[in-house]
Amino acid sequence: MTVRPIRMFSDPVLRSVAAPVHDFDRELRGLVKSLTATMRAGAGRAGLAAPQIGVPLRVVVYSYDGKSGCLVNPRLELSERRVTADEACLSAPGLWWPLERSYMVTARGRDAFGKGVTVRALGVLARVLQHEVDHLDGVLFSDRLEDGERQRFLAEVRPG
């Protein structure tokens, strides 16, 4: 398992839409292992998307409050109930910002072997899944902030 460097907020790869996975092979399972090792390499890391390590594929890993795994080609069903809480991104280390998200999600996708997976999540894990799936669509969490808050956030982001 290789810990890979995390791409920083200014990296253009984070603005690209990731490609769907078609081959559930050894290479994909190696990617999932690297994502998981990279996610676990630092304190407080709850999720990571493949584009954050420079791989433009629709793969995320997560680990929070006893629930962990991977989702390949995930689709989210969002609840109407929304909550605001602080959110951070490994691609913008050290910055937390309040953001409104759905309180509950149902995530459907595949595991690294192609088997169907459904994850029902509340609270923080729901937020993590929404955040990571945004990365697959080239969306950074700052894109979801109001204009003034986005400008304040971007002024704080360290170039990298």
Residue showing tokens 């149902």: 106
117: left (phi over 0), alpha (psi -120 to 50) or beta: beta
* Active-site residue (options: 27, 132, 146, 149): 132
Contact (CB, 8 A) for 28 and 72: yes
Contact (CB, 8 A) for 84 and 126: no
Asked if 132 is an active-site residue, the reply is yes
Distance CA 35, CA 50 (A): 7
Active site residues: 132
